[in-house]
A and B are shown apart, each in its own frame.
Chain A
């Protein structure tokens, strides 16, 4: 029997857990575990109310251990360590048990199995917390420099705010010039500035920061070493030619702002490849180049027909389907149509759409273009418009849902395919940084709401459309968020490393040197134990990374890593195997 008083909280996570795991059953079973003083279910353990309940319980019941069974520790380990701290419980006497990512979400078709697994996992967590000791983290210095990958509007904006906070910035750009997509855009909504102007302004601001911001173009990130606050980055400059030179940068944080690519329709997709069928970016370039009248192939354009959701919201059975909504394209197409009306108000414009997503201020643009004469026709996703020119005339046929599926034929001069955003080809970077891709193949944040710019790689952040379709202001907003996260890490000058390092039991150690050989960080040395009159191994905590590489090589089981000792692991194994 243990003397410990452990509090166990099993989270519903709304229904993310409790729809698949019988959380009440889990509570009822683990309540009687040795050392459990209190066991509760909670709707959202991470909510303010949920956190406060735990703090009150810890204080009132004088708990000396906390187990929260909820989501992945990647998400909320720090949240609940904070709870422990605020309740005057050592944060290392808290154990998070993942019953969401590693249970309810993975076993959605097996409720009984998921519930049994949750019971076993929580028991293992309780076993672990029973062995826990109060620990203090180690502080390491952080490098007050940041690396930004990608010199588009997001990357440049992040560079400026970081520099203004006194952080030295390296910005690397794969292309010959910085500026990204925005630098190619004509007048933008709602400020009516051109992208070129915007980027120009940012670049002149960058120039004012002098040596605080260093930009490398034709540069790619090749390798990342080191750790949080102390990354060693190798950058290749000069593309993939033999002349490429490499430089090494030491930075505390990395922001990835590599942007997006535009969807390229397949040949024949909505008539793509036929004369007169263009994508939205191609059409925008034409509108921008037009001088008083809109022309295509030497002919004046009098009728433009837009087809929305091309390459977005695709059905899952399409090869490499983009099932997501690109969110910016409705706004971009509608904005472009207002520009067309300004160039030539007599142009007829037909918008064939599935749904319109003109959120926020864009809604007024949607109204404006209708007042200017644009006509909107809604089609069924199962009966998309058909584009052909078999009789020599470009023709679009569509069944309009707004007029009870009346079939409408349009003979436009131009068909504009409103294409969405797709992730950029970045295999090398993804591989070097090891940041995960989501199901949409864009870079994945830890949590879209709670930790929207952080990745599972500590100290590596994502910003802009590299993370998913965003317009320029949304990209900038996320760039500022990433910059503040990066600044929060490097400005303090130090960060806390986990105190979970190796230590030696002097009674068991009979210095053989194998552990020292196994440690590439030179954290283990031979020393003399006067008291015992023998030579033993000693660990320098600051140098130890806590990897445990020394642990299996010890012939006498003398060296262990805190929190991962033999008894901790074996207790957890035993707890996992108890009958449910």
Chain B
């Protein structure tokens, strides 16, 4: 599979996942250790907490060629911030508005709470998001149905 713009039928969307060191990353690791398959075009950047993601990083990722960004949020398990879910949701909202402003489909940003044992939910999220992005098309200008 190659990242980027290809014929739509064999289009394999590339997905950037922002995960968190202590909560969602172990869940994503567990998906691998349990041999749960998901597309290999999924790459993970791990941070301490999902409330520390900057919306402009998300925009950067889409503008530079990722077809979708998934925020694997700490949810209520966050060891740092009791209101982590609200904060992360706000970041996802802001990122969606930024994308919209630039003419991208806001659905290219998705958020889901992934706990340290959420192996199967993660693999499912990835397969579903991959399928959804296949319908939207490549993010590269003119490649998708974003209207740009």
Bound form: Cα–Cα A179–B82 in Å: 37
CB neighbours of B16 from chain A (8 A): 573, 576
Assess A436 versus B57: contact at CB under 8 Å? Given A101-B28, A547-B80, A577-B66.
no
A561 touching B61, Cβ below 8 Å: no
Our pick among A98, A547, A572, A577 for the contact of B52 (Cβ within 8 Å) is: A547
Bound form: Cα–Cα A574–B3 in Å: 12
Assess A549 versus B52: contact at CB under 8 Å? Given A74-B29, A107-B37, A116-B40.
yes
Within the complex, what minimum Cβ distance (angstroms) separates B107 from chain A? 20
A456 touching B116, Cβ below 8 Å: yes
Is there a chain B Cβ closer than 8 Å to A434's Cβ?
yes
Within the complex, what minimum Cβ distance (angstroms) separates A30 from chain B? 15
Within the complex, what minimum Cβ distance (angstroms) separates B47 from chain A? 6
Bound form: Cα–Cα A110–B1 in Å: 9
A430-463 contact mask (Cβ, 8 Å, vs B): 1 or 0: 0000111101000010000000000011100000
B33 touching A101, Cβ below 8 Å: yes
B29 touching A102, Cβ below 8 Å: yes
CB neighbours of B52 from chain A (8 A): 547-549, 551-552, 561, 564
A113 touching B1, Cβ below 8 Å: yes
Is there a chain A Cβ closer than 8 Å to B73's Cβ?
no
A102 touching B40, Cβ below 8 Å: no
Is there a chain A Cβ closer than 8 Å to B131's Cβ?
no
Is there a chain A Cβ closer than 8 Å to B55's Cβ?
yes
CB neighbours of A114 from chain B (8 A): 40
B61 touching A551, Cβ below 8 Å: no
Segment at the interface with B among A82-90, A117-125, A365-373: A117-125
A573 touching B45, Cβ below 8 Å: yes
B32 touching A564, Cβ below 8 Å: no
A570 touching B57, Cβ below 8 Å: yes
Considering only residues 1-24 of chain B, those with a C-beta below 8 Å from chain A are: 1-4, 14, 16, 22-23
Within the complex, what minimum Cβ distance (angstroms) separates A416 from chain B? 34
CB neighbours of B40 from chain A (8 A): 103, 106-107, 110, 113-114, 116-117
Q: Which residue of A lies closest to B51 (CB)?
A: A549
B48 touching A577, Cβ below 8 Å: no
A547 touching B81, Cβ below 8 Å: yes
Assess A120 versus B43: contact at CB under 8 Å? Given A72-B29, A547-B52.
yes
Assess A117 versus B43: contact at CB under 8 Å? Given A106-B37, A434-B117, A579-B4.
yes
Bound form: Cα–Cα A561–B23 in Å: 18
Bound form: Cα–Cα A437–B49 in Å: 22
Assess A436 versus B26: contact at CB under 8 Å? Given A113-B41, A549-B80.
yes
Identify which of B32, B78, B81, B91 gathers the most chain A CB atoms within 10 Å of its CB: B32
Is there a chain B Cβ closer than 8 Å to A491's Cβ?
no
Is there a chain A Cβ closer than 8 Å to B146's Cβ?
no
Is there a chain B Cβ closer than 8 Å to A392's Cβ?
no
Considering only residues 29-62 of chain B, those with a C-beta below 8 Å from chain A are: 29-41, 43-45, 47-49, 51-57, 60-61
B48 touching A436, Cβ below 8 Å: no
A576 touching B48, Cβ below 8 Å: no
B37 touching A552, Cβ below 8 Å: no
A545 touching B80, Cβ below 8 Å: yes
Q: Which residue of B lies closest to A549 (CB)?
A: B51
Is there a chain B Cβ closer than 8 Å to A185's Cβ?
no
Our pick among B1, B66, B94 for the contact of A112 (Cβ within 8 Å) is: B1
Q: Which residue of A lies closest to B30 (CB)?
A: A436
Bound form: Cα–Cα A160–B17 in Å: 45
Identify which of A101, A110, A572 gathers the most chain B CB atoms within 10 Å of its CB: A101
Our pick among A100, A518, A545 for the contact of B32 (Cβ within 8 Å) is: A100
Is there a chain A Cβ closer than 8 Å to B87's Cβ?
yes
Is there a chain B Cβ closer than 8 Å to A500's Cβ?
yes
Q: Which residue of B lies closest to A580 (CB)?
A: B2
CB neighbours of A112 from chain B (8 A): 1
Assess A439 versus B80: contact at CB under 8 Å? Given A102-B29, A573-B66.
no
Within the complex, what minimum Cβ distance (angstroms) separates A461 from chain B? 15
CB neighbours of B64 from chain A (8 A): 573-574, 577
Bound form: Cα–Cα A279–B84 in Å: 49
Assess A548 versus B41: contact at CB under 8 Å? Given A116-B1, A227-B79, A573-B66.
no
List 22 contacting pairs A-B, 8 Å CB cutoff, sorted by A.
A98-B29, A102-B28, A102-B32, A109-B37, A110-B37, A113-B39, A117-B40, A227-B79, A434-B117, A435-B116, A436-B26, A436-B116, A456-B116, A458-B22, A548-B52, A569-B45, A570-B60, A573-B45, A573-B57, A573-B64, A577-B3, A577-B14
Interface residues of B (CB under 8 A from A): 1-4, 14, 16, 22-23, 25-41, 43-45, 47-49, 51-57, 60-61, 64-66, 77-82, 84, 87, 91, 94, 115-117, 123
Interface residues of A (CB under 8 A from B): 72, 74, 98, 100-110, 112-114, 116-117, 120-121, 124, 227, 434-437, 439, 444, 456-458, 500, 518, 520, 545-549, 551-552, 561, 564, 566, 569-570, 572-574, 576-577, 579-580
Given contacts A106-B37, A435-B116, A437-B117, 20 further A-B contacts (CB under 8 A): A101-B29, A105-B32, A113-B1, A113-B39, A113-B41, A116-B40, A120-B3, A120-B43, A121-B43, A434-B117, A500-B48, A547-B49, A547-B51, A552-B52, A552-B53, A552-B91, A564-B52, A566-B56, A572-B45, A580-B3
